[in-house]
Structure 1
């Protein structure tokens, strides 16, 4: 778990030497290896933001993800290849989720990231990517909130208490410390308890307001962040959002009208939105055009919002360059601490 006390310095492109040891053995970093590494929320946000800025500058490559899904929809698989130009790292990420037709406890999810040093040509590490994703995605949502929320935003509603929902409040407070009302809608008591615990771990003086009327809560929120699973009863419609509201979609919890009736649409990647956002299509199976992509917003070449009263829809689809940047940071820290298992895979 991340802790505010962890004194981890913010990364830079050249903050450490290339971490390959000069041979082709592969360092495997397990879930337990990565779980013990301390990293601050600010460090995560800075790392993710730097990856977006490098991409916007044309120094990184982030091709469209590949997707495989059987006709009955019981599983979904993704593969993503990318290159981080500031770190000179190439990586491949794979994700596989099985049991989409079942409850959360019956589902299986596996994701892995393999990093290669593009200077030495040697492998860096292969790691479980679960923690990387659990940190990267809420960090992106928090950056979207910082750049696209209306000026003076004070309230946020998080929908969902799964992995993304649990870290959403502390990350939002990291980028928008002026938020003074944090609302949560969830249907799993243990998930609600977990969200409270994460908020207390990072911001022990802040309170969480659990709501049962998601529509009424959305009407009171400057930011609505939907992170719920596919079986959520929440489906906030556009007419429930106040003028100037920012609606961010990570999982489920927003109805398609919030996208189609938005005054402005921002996406981390329009191409990936067309792949993973099909459940937000209209009756004709169409998605509206994106007004701007988020890397350009962070780079300052496009505005996140152009008027205080705009209702903005933001689509947070993970870009592999952010996984690469954060995965590389974890690999650096793991190697410094002597974690992982060296495997002579190519001998």
Structure 2
């Protein structure tokens, strides 16, 4: 067989939507990806970013190799209409996987569901490693894609949480958060908060997942001693970073590139005390004191997309899903 005879299997949004996967399985896959990166068997070069001067769009390209699975992949994402409401924006993301043992393509897939699972799984792992001892209260800010599974994943890694707070403004998003919580943890209740400052002062863990137009703006001096704040999207102010006792980042380099809105007036960041892959591998500590206020920056690393995308490809191929395309003929 020549390269021109090798088809590429394309997995669409609908192909992936019906695949069942346990939240604990997602957490395990993501954790393994971080361990492989910390062990030096995986590679994740800095992402490439393109953004026009008028800020209408942003696009990224991320190449990586998962050494544990021996898979090479490239992820691309493009979002248009950054200044528009969410329902007027256009967003496309795709992942192409190659088997680095055979040299053959595995699949190209929509990466939307992968991202919607990978990111809250990472936040849940950060919370497991960095939340204060005896954490009982979690606050999620935002009800978009990243907010809707935030609490179910948090409960997967921190099952002793017993107060689940939500700050959101979109009725359909709030309903979706309730639906996901009921689907995964039907015995848990959700509290919708109206006083964000009071809620932030009570929270042991805060996940900021909102979109750029959110009115939510938690300040660093609102947080109680020991609180963990995790930035995924928007909803917390730069003071939560600059007044933190300890700073954790999934990648310090990516934080410097994609987290510029959290820099100080001189464009600078506090030093990152530990990168999260090293924390997962046990080579660095997430928390060094019960009263530390910790800021964590959760930016996507492509190795986690690769690992979870490969898991989805395994499930999809086992069920015969997807369409074969003769791309190279």
TM-score, length basis structure 1: 0.93
Aligned to 1:35: 17
Assess if the C-alpha contact under 8 Å between 1:259 and 1:265 holds in 2.
Answer: yes
The alpha carbon displacement at 1:23 in A equals: 5.8
Regions of 4+ moved over 4 Å:
none
What is the CA–CA distance in structure 1 between the aligned matches of 2:135 and 2:292, rounded to whole Å? 13
- Residue by residue over 1:119-178, the C-alpha shift from the partner in whole angstroms, topping out at 9 and shown as x without a partner, is 000100000000000000000000000000011100000000000000000000000000
What is the CA–CA distance in structure 1 between the aligned matches of 2:148 and 2:20, rounded to whole Å? 17
Aligned to 1:7: none
What is the CA–CA distance in structure 2 between the aligned matches of 1:255 and 1:112, rounded to whole Å? 31
* Alpha-carbon RMSD: 1.1
In structure 1, which of residues 151, 155, 177 is the aligned counterpart of residue 133 of structure 2? 151
Aligned to 1:24: 6
In structure 2, which of residues 42, 60, 63 is the aligned counterpart of residue 60 of structure 1? 42
In structure 1, which of residues 257, 274, 292 is the aligned counterpart of residue 274 of structure 2? 292
The alpha carbon displacement at 1:189 in A equals: 0.8
Assess if the C-alpha contact under 8 Å between 2:247 and 2:294 holds in 1.
Answer: yes
User: What number of residue pairs does the alignment pair up?
Assistant: 327
In structure 2, which of residues 246, 259, 272 is the aligned counterpart of residue 277 of structure 1? 259
The alpha carbon displacement at 1:24 in A equals: 2.0
What is the CA–CA distance in structure 2 between the aligned matches of 1:301 and 1:151, rounded to whole Å? 20
Assess if the C-alpha contact under 8 Å between 2:29 and 2:307 holds in 1.
Answer: yes
Assess if the C-alpha contact under 8 Å between 2:5 and 2:328 holds in 1.
Answer: no
What is the CA–CA distance in structure 2 between the aligned matches of 1:216 and 1:24, rounded to whole Å? 59
TM-score, length basis structure 2: 0.98
The alpha carbon displacement at 1:306 in A equals: 0.3
Aligned to 2:249: 267
What is the CA–CA distance in structure 2 between the aligned matches of 1:90 and 1:164, rounded to whole Å? 26
What are the equivalent positions in structure 2 for 1:64-83 lying under 5 Å apart?
64-83=46-65
What are the equivalent positions in structure 2 for 1:1-347 lying under 5 Å apart?
24-347=6-329
User: Any gaps of 5 or more consecutive residues in structure 1?
Assistant: 1-21
- Residue by residue over 1:46-94, the C-alpha shift from the partner in whole angstroms, topping out at 9 and shown as x without a partner, is 0000000000000000111010001111110000000000100000000
Over 3 Å counting, the alpha-carbon distance change for 1:223 and 1:88 in structure 2 is: same
What is the CA–CA distance in structure 2 between the aligned matches of 1:297 and 1:23, rounded to whole Å? 45
What is the CA–CA distance in structure 2 between the aligned matches of 1:311 and 1:146, rounded to whole Å? 15
The alpha carbon displacement at 1:319 in A equals: 0.2
- Residue by residue over 1:202-248, the C-alpha shift from the partner in whole angstroms, topping out at 9 and shown as x without a partner, is 00000000001111100000001000000000110000000000000
Assess if the C-alpha contact under 8 Å between 2:10 and 2:107 holds in 1.
Answer: yes
